[in-house]
């Protein structure tokens, strides 16, 4: 799977929208942002590759070596929960690609955390890189897979040094670590080798672990 390097952008935390993740945040979590792409593109959102905004979703289409990327410029703490509602769209040949749900520091130079799931695959690629060191770089089997043509809820959680991933409410991956915390400022989604539609994205952070406590300190 591909890992990408990007540029610095402005931080924005606009008010919420009508879309809500299916995860009820416990008192320890606080909302950073919630966005429904039926409201348009996220303010300050950016990326590259093919993207199209429909009345109900954002559509990204990327090749196997040239992914389409969409970055949401918001800071969040080292303990975080990302939720996205996505659909992988099959091509005319019946094949579908992969979706990346990730977060990183400014420009992706030092800190990267997230997962890559591909349509029809019973495996997942998981990353947790801090200060350019791969603490977690794994391709793991899972008991489910993403079906093309239907909406799925993906949830990526990093809390208390552990990483967990859920698909449609089912935990498919867990690594206890403990892994060191990171500094995060650019959650993003990407489509690789096909088309991905994104209906909503939510970012939560632990109420007790703000960005000033993250490794790297935001500098």
Provide the 3-class DSSP secondary structure of residue 91: coil
pTM: 0.82
State the Cα–Cα distance between residues 175 and 177, nearest whole angstrom. 6
* pLDDT at 209 (0 to 100): 54
> Are 99 and 154 a contacting pair, CB within 8 Å?
yes
As given in the structure block, the two tokens for residue 124 are 């997942």
What are 9's two structure tokens? 């952008």
- Are the CB atoms for 70 and 60 separated by under 8 Å? yes
Which of 75-79, 127-131, 141-145, 207-211 is predicted least confidently? 207-211
Cis peptide before 177 (omega within 30 of 0): no
Phi, psi torsion values for 120, nearest 5 degrees: 75, 0
* Per-residue pLDDT band at 14 (split at 50, 70, 90): very low
CATH code, 31-208:
2.60.120.200
Q: Which residue has the higher pLDDT, 14 or 141?
A: 141
Rounded CA Rg of the chain: 16
Domain ranges of the chain: 31-208
Q: Express each pLDDT in 75-131 by its tens digit.
A: 999 999 999 999 999 887 777 889 999 999 998 789 999 999 998 888 899 999 999
């Amino acid at each position: 799977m591909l890992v990408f390097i990007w540029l610095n952008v402005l931080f924005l935390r606009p008010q919420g929208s009508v879309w809500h993740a299916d995860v009820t945040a416990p008192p320890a979590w606080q909302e950073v942002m919630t966005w429904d792409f039926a409201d348009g593109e996220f303010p300050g959102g950016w990326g590259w590759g093919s993207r199209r905004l429909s009345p109900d979703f954002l559509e990204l289409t990327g090749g196997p070596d040239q992914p389409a990327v969409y970055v949401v410029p918001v800071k969040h703490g080292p303990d975080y929960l990302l939720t996205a509602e996505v659909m992988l769209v099959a091509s005319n040949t019946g094949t579908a690609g992969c979706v990346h749900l990730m977060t990183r520091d400014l420009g992706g130079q030092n800190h990267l955390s997230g997962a890559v799931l591909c349509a029809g695959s019973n495996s997942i690629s998981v990353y947790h890189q801090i200060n350019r060191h791969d603490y977690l770089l794994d391709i793991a089997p899972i008991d489910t897979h993403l079906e093309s043509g239907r909406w799925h809820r993906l949830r990526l959680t990093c809390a208390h040094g552990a990483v967990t991933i859920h698909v449609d409410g089912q935990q498919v991956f867990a690594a206890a670590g403990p892994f060191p915390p990171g500094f995060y400022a650019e959650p993003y989604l990407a489509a690789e080798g096909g088309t991905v539609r994104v209906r909503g994205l939510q970012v939560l952070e632990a109420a007790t672990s703000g960005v000033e406590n993250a490794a790297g300190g935001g500098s």
